[in-house]
Amino acid sequence: MEISTESELGPIRPAEWHNYVAFFLTLRCNLKCPYCINLHDGGSRSTMGKRTMDVESWIKAANRLELRPDLPLTLQGGEPTLFPGFFRFVNALKPGLKCDLLTNLTFDVAEFIANVPREVFLREAPYAPIRVSYHPGQNDIDELVWRYFQLEEAGFRIGIYGILHPDEEKRSHILATKERCLKLGVDFRTKEYLGEWQGQLYGQFKYPGSVMGGQLRSCRCRTGELLVDPAGLVYKCHADLLEGRAPYAHVLDADLTADAIDEFRACDSYGDCNPCDVKVKTNRFQQFGHTSVEIVDVDGLAQ
């Protein structure tokens, strides 16, 4: 992995079947959701201890992307707006490069409006480019709604998302919040709960035993996504990224092309897959049945 100067960097041009390009600018977050998979504030995941890329490197990485109109660069984390160079980054992107933002919307809205070009986060899509996660007990819904309208008035398109938790009380709260928000004209949508709750696994997963499988198996796996961690390292799945496990490239490698995404790679962690990667879900065209990764040759499992 030889990191190169800007002039040597070739384009990364995702193919039609590549579904997601994400820069995890930082895994830091100012909230402390108990179910957070990112473990920040000194968490033990190895990614946390790694060098983080400076903003000029992120700009070089972004500007080598040649993305289709229907495939934005998603900025996520942690809370991506906590990345110190966030405003510099969004202002230095090449014309036409579109971004989505996944945020908890705790940032200073006036500062955001004053410093972020609208066109970076505006594009035709069946969902809002700026997507806010509502975490009951962590961020306040009335505050979110107020910020929502501030951003909307300033010309941004945003949506708020709540998770339909299996716990009846939490679920009812989200559904009531959704109803209240829709009446106010807020784009509020729900997402299904993924993972374990009181001994039961929630979510529809394509590969048996891949999530909380209890037993780790070897396999070969590939993704349709370009996933880049705060250090600029590229991974074949979310579980690998969050564990800092087996990066296959650096986003500033001169010879990195989108072809590298398609390679099946050996993995010994089948059973510890992240629900995001193996969940049967809706793709960017809002079509159901998509799975982020393709897994073959699972040791001890009939295919």
Binding site for ligand SF4 (CB under 6 A): 29, 31-33, 36, 38, 77-79, 104, 133, 135, 138, 210, 219, 221, 236-237, 239-240, 267, 269-270, 272-273, 277-278, 293, 295
CA distance 38 to 176: 28
| 238 token code pair | 């979310």
3-state secondary structure 79-116: CHHHCCCHHHHHHCCCCCCCEEEEECCCCCHHHHHHHC
**Residue 64 or 217 with smaller CB distance to ligand SF4:** 217
CA distance 113 to 111: 6
CB of 297 to ligand SF4, least distance (A): 10
**Residue 187 or 294 with smaller CB distance to ligand SF4:** 294
CA distance 125 to 74: 13
CB of 10 to ligand SF4, least distance (A): 26
Q: Where are the beta strands (DSSP E) in the chain?
A: 20-24, 73-76, 99-103, 130-133, 158-164, 188-192, 195-197, 200-202, 217-223, 225-228, 233-235, 249-250, 265-270, 281-282, 288-290, 293-296
CB of 23 to ligand SF4, least distance (A): 15
**Residue 74 or 104 with smaller CB distance to ligand SF4:** 104
Interhelix angle for 141-153 vs 168-184, to 10°?
Answer: 30
**Residue 138 or 150 with smaller CB distance to ligand SF4:** 138
**Residue 97 or 246 with smaller CB distance to ligand SF4:** 246
3-state secondary structure 158-178: EEEEEEECCCHHHHHHHHHHH
CB of 49 to ligand SF4, least distance (A): 18
**Residue 63 or 218 with smaller CB distance to ligand SF4:** 218
CB of 285 to ligand SF4, least distance (A): 22
**Residue 73 or 219 with smaller CB distance to ligand SF4:** 219
CB of 7 to ligand SF4, least distance (A): 33
Query: Coil, helix or strand for 223?
Result: strand
**Peptide bond before residue 77 is cis, with ω within 30 degrees of 0:** no
Q: Is the four-CA dihedral 12, 80, 48, 93 of positive or negative sign? A: positive
Cβ atoms of 139 and 109 within 8 Å: the answer is no
**DSSP string spanning 112-132?**
HHHHS-GGGG----SS-SEEE
**Residue 67 or 82 with smaller CB distance to ligand SF4:** 82
CB of 6 to ligand SF4, least distance (A): 31
CB of 139 to ligand SF4, least distance (A): 7
